[in-house]
Amino acid sequence: MRVLMVSDVYFPRVNGVSTSIETFRQCLRELGVEVRLVVPRYGDEPDEEGIIRVAGRPVPGDREDRLVGWRAMHKAVLAAAADCDLIHVQTPFVAHYAGLKAARRLGLPVVATYHTLFEEYLQHYAPFLPGGWLKGQARAFSRRQCNALDAVVVPSTAMQQRLLAYGVTAPLHVLPTGIPLARFGRGNGAAFRAEHGIPLGQPVALFVGRVAHEKNIGFLLEAMLRTRDMRADALLLIAGEGPAMNDLKERVRQLGLLDAVRFIGYLDRQQALPDCYAAADVFVFASRTETQGLVLLEAMAAGLPVIALSEMGTTDILAPGRGAYSPSADAAAFGEVLGYFFNQPLAWRYLAEEAPAYAAEWSDAAMAARLAARYRELAGRENAVSEALTVAAT
């Protein structure tokens, strides 16, 4: 079986969508599903088999992303899909319209993954517009796009319920992105601490993700005020890059946390990131807009207990309470829990013991097998309809 994935974002741009695409692409290959990609070109990326790059220009005000040409993307997708069985759209911008048009012209089923809850994000990027109006527009936009598809993949039950509330009538399939367990269980924490000048005995909390306003990292900074009252040497590491970096660094200065918070930037996922997970004592997360929260599972796979807010997509991961603890959505309370964790590590040891076993239930191989089954179901249904129409015409 051959599937064409179409996206407005992909590596070297690092985010959850890029990670999801690559995770599924690698595992689907082992299941007899060949995945071809049409994605933006960011610079001078080398040619790779199965990946078609479309030229784009930087998005105004966002040097990380690319806006691909409308005609160029449509042409590339139509050509790449000619011998495919199904089209899978990963983003709702130019890629969505190119994938949908090609699918309809070629008579292929088309499915999309709804990765991002846009109604919660737009207010951070257009604060000059009324929040209620923005949310209404985002809901209507999502409803139109989803209902034009044959099926929609959502990474969590919370996202499924949100789309149903929007009025989406296309079939919705809950299917999280799995994680490559082996990669995150082999980190060298001592080496990472030595490289970054962090004493072996210093208690470290870790956040990994895009440094953006919607990640609610400011909440973690406020929480550190209380944590530092209880454990003066506590350190928060923030691994990632993004548009909120300068604002958050200024907030750290204002709060007097310059020696308590360290921004370490983007880390290579093959070795540096696993090392970073292994170097930490606990993973912390406060985003209220996640569609899934893969980093929580990555941390658990590395043996890290998690302290995180249970909001939106993270609820599916956190609800069982295995390997994780969810404080109330109050910064002082969150910080106090973190302080207790650092001061009484043995009392929390059971979380670290539970975490890897729980993460194993969310493996990349298991989730890819579920996606492959959906692909074959959709492609088979489309072929049956086509055959019926052919018979009727004769």
Model confidence band, residue 6 (pLDDT cutoffs 50, 70, 90): very high
Instruction: Say which amino acid occupies 36.
Output: R
- Distance, in Å, from the CA atom of 113 to the CA atom of 23, rounded to the nearest integer, reads 14
Interval 154-160 mean pLDDT = 90
Model confidence band, residue 392 (pLDDT cutoffs 50, 70, 90): very low
- Distance, in Å, from the CA atom of 297 to the CA atom of 180, rounded to the nearest integer, reads 10
Per-residue pLDDT of 97-131, as tens digits, reads 999 999 999 999 999 999 987 776 665 556 656 76
Q: What is the pLDDT of residue 116?
A: 83
pLDDT reading at 302 higher than 60? yes
Strand locations in the chain (E): 2-6, 34-41, 51-59, 62-68, 86-89, 110-113, 151-154, 172-174, 204-208, 235-239, 261-265, 282-285, 306-308, 324-325
Return the higher-pLDDT residue of 306 and 186.
306
- Distance, in Å, from the CA atom of 208 to the CA atom of 301, rounded to the nearest integer, reads 14
Return the higher-pLDDT residue of 182 and 272.
272
Q: Which residues contact residue 259 at a Cβ distance below 8 angstroms, ignoring those fewer than 6 apart?
A: none
Q: What is the mean pLDDT of the chain?
A: 92
Check: CB of residue 275 under 8 Å from CB of residue 191: yes
Q: What is the pLDDT of residue 391?
A: 37
Which CATH number does 2-179+364-393 carry? 3.40.50.2000
Check: CB of residue 305 under 8 Å from CB of residue 324: yes
pLDDT reading at 390 higher than 90? no
Percentage of residues in the chain having pLDDT higher than 70: 94
- Distance, in Å, from the CA atom of 338 to the CA atom of 223, rounded to the nearest integer, reads 8
Least confidently predicted of 1-15, 115-129, 144-158, 379-393: 379-393
Residues of the chain with CATH 3.40.50.2000: 2-179+364-393, 181-360
Treating both helix axes as pointing N-terminal to C-terminal, what angle do 118-125 and 131-147 enclose, rounded to 10 degrees? 140
Query: Under CATH, what is the fold of the domain 181-360?
Result: Rossmann fold (3.40.50)
Interval 251-268 mean pLDDT = 97
pLDDT reading at 297 higher than 80? yes
Q: What is the pLDDT of residue 309?
A: 97
Interval 373-378 mean pLDDT = 97
Q: What is the pLDDT of residue 16?
A: 82
Model confidence band, residue 282 (pLDDT cutoffs 50, 70, 90): very high
pLDDT reading at 308 higher than 60? yes
Q: Can you tell me whether residue 1 is helix, strand or coil?
A: coil
**Residues β-bridged to residue 113:** 153
